[in-house]
Amino acid sequence: MSRIGKKIIALPQGVSVQVDGLSLAVKGPKGALHVPLPAGIHFEKQDGHLQLKRDSDDDSALHGLVRSLLANAVRGVTTGFEKHLDIVGIGYRAESKGKSVTFVLGYSHPIEFPVPDGIAIAVEKQTHLVVSGADRQLVGHVAAKIRGLRPPDPYKNKGIRYTGERLKKKVGKAAAAAGGAGGGGGAAKG
């Protein structure tokens, strides 16, 4: 039984949903998105609300999935989605240049990251990035690719991380040895 699939999706003013072949076309002020519509799932529009229905219980697995994708598309074309990233480290920074972002992350060369269509990357104070767009999956994917350029180091906590991400800092080698069984390591005298 899908409880998520039965939830009603409110359609804000200026958003239209139409069947476009095997998908639903969602259009709004921030753009247009397509949500795949599998066989056995159909929708009903009534009083500015959408409700998804399924033909049989065999389609229950896709019922909640399609409803979530459709709700994300409606929210994306009205308000959009954002991911915030922080760059931590001495000399680490980012700079926006047209349709690409240049990162200096401690490597021997700067990294050019092309910005995909439908995504906007705002660089604030050279160490804070805001990835925004209408497609939730694409925003998350681009943010994860940017984070993957220099993931946070568990020893020094340097790198690119999501804003508010909590990291576990590991104890370094020297600190671990100092806390051990003091002074051993020499050869036994006989």
Print the domain residue range for 101: 81-162
Number of domains in the chain: 2
Please report the pLDDT score of residue 179 as a whole number.
61
Instruction: State whether 86 and 73 are in the same domain.
Output: no
Global pTM?
0.80
Instruction: Reduce the DSSP state of residue 132 to 3 states and report it.
Output: strand
Instruction: Tell me the three-class secondary structure of 63-90, residue by residue.
Output: HHHHHHHHHHHHHHHHCCEEEEEEEECC
pLDDT, residue 186, reads 56
Mean pLDDT, the chain cut into blocks of 10 residues (190 residues total):
78 85 87 87 84 82 87 91 92 90 92 92 91 92 93 89 87 68 57
Asked if residue 106 is part of any domain, the answer here is yes
90 & 152 share domain: yes
In this predicted structure, what is the pLDDT of residue 190? 55
Question: Quick one: 17 and 45 in the same domain?
Answer: yes
pLDDT of residue 120: 92
Angle (CA) 159 173 104, round 5°: 20
| Contact partners, residue 33, CB within 8 Å, separation at least 6 | 25, 26, 73, 76, 77, 134, 135
